[in-house]
Chain A
Amino acid sequence: MTASLPIPHREPFLFLSRLDATDGEEALFSYDMPRQGDSFSIRMFPALLMVEAMAQAAAAFHGVQMQAADADAEEETGVLASVDKVRVSARPRPGDRLTIKVRRKKAFGPMVLLAGEVWVSHRLACSADIFVRRGSPEGART
């Protein structure tokens, strides 16, 4: 799927290039890192940006699901609530293609827990638990 993803992020702060596959429980995204010398290129991809990529994937997955369910605008939104259990085992380099996987683990009330992973060339580079609160930011204080 190459259509724009249902998240507000744009370059240079967008770390998803496309949605490759999805079902009700998980989604796979790709991110083609700029090569050195390209616009917005960076020498290394810090671990924090891999966490950001997983958070963007979680938000995009939620948005795609809501669009498929023909949800109203309020339900389509979500807020990143927390990130936990971050593990980093590799650093991507310019020109690498990242595969970002998010899998829904549990939903409870307005909260959803997703397992996030970033893979580079069949190697797990980063993983984390991503917590998303469904609904508008105004309702996120409960």
Chain B
Amino acid sequence: MSGVTVEQVKELVMDTLNLHEEYEPDEITGEESLFGDDGLGLDSLDALQLAVAIEEKWAVSIDENIGETVFRSMKTIADYVNANRASA
């Protein structure tokens, strides 16, 4: 099973949250913060929608207690999915 890439996470995030009108794909590197004014500015509703989308696409459940760590950036999401995918 090949690993999930940052590019795939970026595609999922943009599709799930309808970010295509706000950002060009090249504007997002995968390293920037997802939340807060210095990042993409996502909120708690976005986090829940992302958690559901990740569970549906890669069968990886994200515990809400570690959500802040996992959702730090698209790279941390990809790392978490790859670390937990086989055992999901």
Which residues of chain A have a CB within 8 Å of any CB of chain B?
Answer: 81-82, 84, 105-113, 131, 133, 141-142
Contacts and interface: CB of A to CB of B under 8 A. Distances in A.
A133 B44 contact: yes
B45 A106 contact: no
Given A131-B45, A133-B45, A109 B52 contact: no
A107 B52 contact: no
Contact of A142 (B44, B49, B51, B55): B44
A106 B52 contact: yes
A134 to B, nearest CB: 10
A111 B44 contact: yes
B51 A106 contact: yes
Contacts of B44: 108-111, 133, 142
A108 B51 contact: yes
Most buried by B among A81, A84, A108, A133: A108
Main SS class of interface, B: helix
Contacts of A111: 44-45, 47-48
B43 interface: yes
A60 B13 CA distance: 31
A84 B64 CA distance: 21
A81 B62 CA distance: 21
Nearest to A110: B44
Closest 7 CB pairs of A and B: A111-B48, A108-B48, A108-B64, A108-B51, A111-B44, A109-B44, A81-B45
Contacts of B39: none
Contacts of A142: 43-44
Nearest to B65: A109
A113 B47 CA distance: 11
B3 interface: no
15 contacts: A81-B45, A106-B52, A107-B48, A108-B51, A108-B62, A108-B64, A108-B67, A111-B47, A111-B48, A112-B48, A113-B52, A133-B44, A133-B45, A142-B43, A142-B44
